[in-house]
Amino acid sequence: MREIAVLIPCYNEEKTVSKVVSDFKNALPEASIYVYDNNSTDNTAKFAEEAGAIVRHESRQGKGNVIRRMFKEIDADCYLMIDGDDTYPAEHAHEMCDLVLKDNVDMVIGDRLSSTYFSENKRPFHNLGNRLVRGLINRLFHGNVKDIMTGYRAFSYEFVKTFPVLSKGFEIETEMTIHALDKNLVLKEVPVTYRDRPDGSESKLNTYSDGVKVLKTIAKLFKEYKPTCFFSVLSFLFLLISLIFGIPVFTEYFSTGLVPRFPTLIFAGFMLIISLLLFISGVILEVIVKKHRQLFELVLIRTRREKDKG
């Protein structure tokens, strides 16, 4: 039997963690249930252990830090990640794990937005943020992912052991999705029902500060994964400034033979030089990114061979 690990990152989820552990133990009796407590100040760890979970701890605050610890410490054939807030039902767990174990999917995304999310979620700015992030990532990275920020996902061993976790907080789901799109990994979405948090359970996601972090992550990863496009846009902007200031100077020169505005000409020349440097930087970085993609493929092959031998 192939091993399944259910990963539940938790911070102050004492009201729901017992039910989440019990639901997934019933849905996947063959799986090992891991709850990683992230400095909770309530009885999350105690209740999780009483419900039958293997409880571990991560002292660095943030969901990204918890997932980094999980991915480093746990070995399994399939990983199912779920939030500890009881917003996702366990009924989809088998289907998502089967896609990884039987169909060789690298990451299965539990798609909330195609089902009940917009009717269940009572925070309108979260709905707007999800649509904004989805539109940006699909446009910038040529994807067709319906739910970017869902916390319900299943992963293959190869994905977990080759994914470099850099984010510290809730932007981790965005990073996972962009990584999978950029590396041409096999993605599959499964529509899942979503229910709002029960009374007394509070979201740890801050609509504004965490939303800004997500947008910064998208911009940073766009620069790192698609440098030619990123630096070409900047190059075009500086070229446009150069033309706006430079064309009147040259027009005047061709009409009168004089250049009375030398400071403007010098400024336009500097803008043109910066534009060229930005474009060349993008081309050079694109070569480096392509080399990194080639190295990633080699690491992926080696990881699969090590798994087969193990």
Order of strands, edge to edge, in the sheet holding 153-156? 54-57, 32-37, 4-10, 78-81, 153-156, 107-111, 187-191
**pLDDT (0 to 100) of residue 38:** 94
Residue 255 pLDDT > 90: no
d(CA 249, CA 274): 19
pLDDT in tens, 50-86: 999 999 999 999 999 999 999 999 999 999 999 999 9
Beta bridge partners, 80, equal: 6, 154
Beta bridge partners, 155, equal: 79, 107
**pLDDT (0 to 100) of residue 202:** 60
**pLDDT (0 to 100) of residue 23:** 95
pLDDT in tens, 19-36: 999 999 999 999 999 999
- The dihedral region occupied by 105, where left means phi > 0, alpha psi between -120 and 50, and beta the remainder, is beta
For the entire predicted model, the pTM comes to: 0.82
Q: How many residues does the chain have?
A: 310
Residue 39 pLDDT > 90: yes
Q: Please provide the DSSP assignment of 85-137 as one string.
A: TS-S-GGGHHHHHHHHHTT--SEEEEE-TTTTHHHH---HHHHHHHHHHHHHH
Contact at 8 Å (CB) between 272 and 235? no
DSSP conformation class of 91:
G
Residue with the larger pLDDT of the pair 50 and 258: 50
224: phi then psi, degrees, rounded to nearest 5: -80, -35
* Look-up of token digits 């798609």: 111
Q: Which two tokens stand for residue 236?
A: 């075009």
**pLDDT (0 to 100) of residue 116:** 57
Averaged confidence pLDDT in the chain? 89
Arithmetic mean of pLDDT, 154-175: 91
pLDDT in tens, 188-240: 999 998 877 666 556 556 666 767 888 888 888 899 999 999 999 999 999 99
Neighbours of 97 (CB within 10 A): 23
pLDDT in tens, 166-195: 888 888 999 999 999 999 999 999 999 887
pLDDT band at 266 (very low <50, low <70, confident <90, very high): very high
Residue (of 56, 49, 4, 53) closest to 33 by Cα position: 53
Residue (of 15, 56, 64) closest to 197 by Cα position: 15
**pLDDT (0 to 100) of residue 205:** 61
